[in-house]
A = this chain, B = another copy of it.
Amino acid sequence: MKKLTDIPTLEDIEMAHQAVQPFIHQTPVLTSQSLNAIAGCDVYFKCENLQKVGAFKMRGAACALEALTDAEKQRGIATHSSGNHAQAVALSAKLQGIPAHIVMPQNAPAIKRNAVKGYGANIYTSGNTIQNREAMLHEVVEKTGATFIHPYDNYNVIAGQATASKELHETIKDLEVVIAPIGGGGLMSGTALYTHYARPNVAIVGAEPKLVDDAFRSFHSGKIEQNDRLDTIADGLRTTLGEKTLAIIRKHVDEIITVSEEEIIHAMRLIWERLKVVVEPSGAVPFAALLQQKARFEGKKVGIIFSGGNVDVEELPF
């Protein structure tokens, strides 16, 4: 896999898919007749919650690491993250034999810290603000010469995330709509690019919590908007867009739907009860968007990408 310096092409995504094969699960696409009846359309769920480390992040991390030069691999990689990206980078680095330096904030959940440690990564504990995290990352990079892997504003990461929708479209060949959640925009950008190239007639929809509707506002204003509050249950979607993801999303996404906390919890519960998979609140956001706008999707074949399944089963909202 080469290092990408521009928006991934169809060929780049195909190469990315080859490159990440040894490091990922080909996740199943599940369906449920009872959910179809509730939604009023045929829904195909691409289960990235069943991906390694429990999230699609594994695809982008594996792809970014695969593209490093041998010298870079020897010096190692670095990132900061409190969650799924940290685990994905740590596991990818372990599988590819690359030293990993992960800055995690003090308030990162112990379970995620332990997982990262279990993959053999070096953990650096920073303060909780984004400034604290970035300052410590800068220090680590200075000291080690490691390459920083951005969680989403990186074309190799985007090409990696695109492979989820590639598998979805290859499994279900006649989708009419695809819906993905938007946090930093890596999954949404990859989904939009692949769908645009391979299935140009498919409608591309993003979904986001109303409480952190920065992507919705950025989509309309054309600049990276911030969030005043971050208290959505969909903890994976609190991030704002990056320059690269904003440009791709503005160009290729048709629409962004925002949903309430109640709608997210209701959708999450339906997925657990009817589809029988553990999906995190962020992962339920696209299905919540579909249910909110049922009339518009009526009778259609809709693909939905579950971002992940990392949730504390002792702290469920229902």
Contacts and interface: CB of A to CB of B under 8 A. Distances in A.
Q: How many copies of this chain does one complex carry?
A: 2
A45 to B, nearest CB: 11
Interface in A267-318: 269, 272-273, 275-279, 309, 313-314, 316, 318
Bin chain A's interface residue count: 20 to 34
A283 to B, nearest CB: 10
Interface stretch (A48-56, A122-130, A237-245): A48-56
A120 interface: no
Q: Which of A30, A54, A276 lies at the interface centre, i.e. has the most chain B CB atoms within 10 A of its CB?
A: A276
B318 A269 contact: no
Interface in A137-160: none
A280 to B, nearest CB: 9
B54 A276 contact: yes
A271 to B, nearest CB: 9
Interface in A221-279: 269, 272-273, 275-279
7 contacts: A28-B50, A54-B276, A272-B278, A273-B313, A276-B278, A276-B309, A277-B278
